[in-house]
Amino acid sequence: MDNKTRYDLMVKLSDFYVKNVQKNLDEFNKIRVIAGNFTHVLSFIFIVATLTCFSLAFLFFTFILIFFLPNSYIIPSFNIIIVFFVISVLLITILCTAIIRITYINESYKKHMKHILKNDDVKNKLPSSADSEIKKHLMVKFLQIFGNLNWCYGSEFGRWKNIEFIKSWKILNNPISAIDDYITGEYKGINLKICDINTSLFRIEFLAGEVFFTGLFMCFYFIWLPVVLLSSAVFFIKHLTSKSFNGVFIELDMNKKFEGQTFILEKDNIKDNLTLSKTYEKVNLEDSEFAQEFCVYSQNQIEARYILTTSMIDRLKKLKEIYKAEYIRAAFKDEKIIIMIQTGRDMFQMAGKSQITKETFIQLFDEITSVLDIIDILKLNEKLGL
Q: Are residues 373 and 260 in the same domain?
A: yes
Return d(Cα 260, Cα 275) in angstroms, integer. 17
Q: Tell me, yes or no, whether 17 lies in a domain.
A: no
Q: Tell me, yes or no, whether 16 lies in a domain.
A: no
Q: Tell me, yes or no, whether 11 lies in a domain.
A: no
Return d(Cα 296, Cα 303) in angstroms, integer. 12
Q: Are residues 164 and 273 in the same domain?
A: yes
Q: Are residues 280 and 371 in the same domain?
A: yes
pLDDT of amino acid 207? 47
Q: Are residues 259 and 369 in the same domain?
A: yes
pLDDT of amino acid 206? 46
Q: What is the mean pLDDT of residues 180-201?
A: 86
Q: Which of 76, 98, 127 is the last residue of a domain?
A: 127
Average pLDDT in the chain: 79
Return d(Cα 20, Cα 140) in angstroms, integer. 11
CB of 181 closer than 8 Å to CB of 192: no
Residue 263 has pLDDT above 60, yes or no: yes
pLDDT of amino acid 31? 87
Q: Are residues 179 and 33 in the same domain?
A: no
In this prediction the pTM is 0.75
Q: Count of CB atoms within 10 A of residue 336's CB?
A: 19
Q: Tell me, yes or no, whether 2 lies in a domain.
A: no
Lowest mean pLDDT among 169-178, 180-189, 241-250, 256-265: 169-178
Return d(Cα 18, Cα 38) in angstroms, integer. 29
Radius of gyration of the CA atoms of the chain, in A = 26
What DSSP character marks residue 337? E
Q: In what order do the strands lie in the sheet with 246-253?
A: 149-153, 178-187, 190-198, 246-253, 336-342, 328-333, 262-266, 294-298, 281-283
Residue 171's Cα: distance from chain center in Å?
16
pLDDT-derived band at 264, boundaries 50, 70, 90: very high
Which amino acid would we find at residue 212? F
Q: Tell me, yes or no, whether 8 lies in a domain.
A: no
The H-assigned helical ranges of 118-224 are: 130-143, 154-158, 164-167, 204-220
The pLDDT > 90 percentage for the chain reads 22
Structural domain total, the chain: 3
Q: Are residues 217 and 83 in the same domain?
A: no
| Tens-digit pLDDT profile for residues 105-126 | 888 887 888 777 666 566 556 6
Q: Which of 88, 104, 127 is the last residue of a domain?
A: 127
Q: Are residues 119 and 168 in the same domain?
A: no
Q: Tell me, yes or no, whether 383 lies in a domain.
A: yes
Return d(Cα 242, Cα 329) in angstroms, integer. 14
- Domain assignment of residue 288, given as a range: 129-199+242-386
Write phi, then psi, for 89 (nearest 5 degrees). Answer: -60, -40
pLDDT-derived band at 141, boundaries 50, 70, 90: very high
Q: Are residues 209 and 250 in the same domain?
A: no
Q: Are residues 76 and 142 in the same domain?
A: no
Q: Which of 214, 237, 260 is the last residue of a domain?
A: 237
Q: Tell me, yes or no, whether 10 lies in a domain.
A: no
| Tens-digit pLDDT profile for residues 13-50 | 999 999 999 988 998 898 888 888 888 888 888 788 87
| Tens-digit pLDDT profile for residues 55-84 | 877 777 777 766 666 555 555 566 777 777
pLDDT of amino acid 347? 87
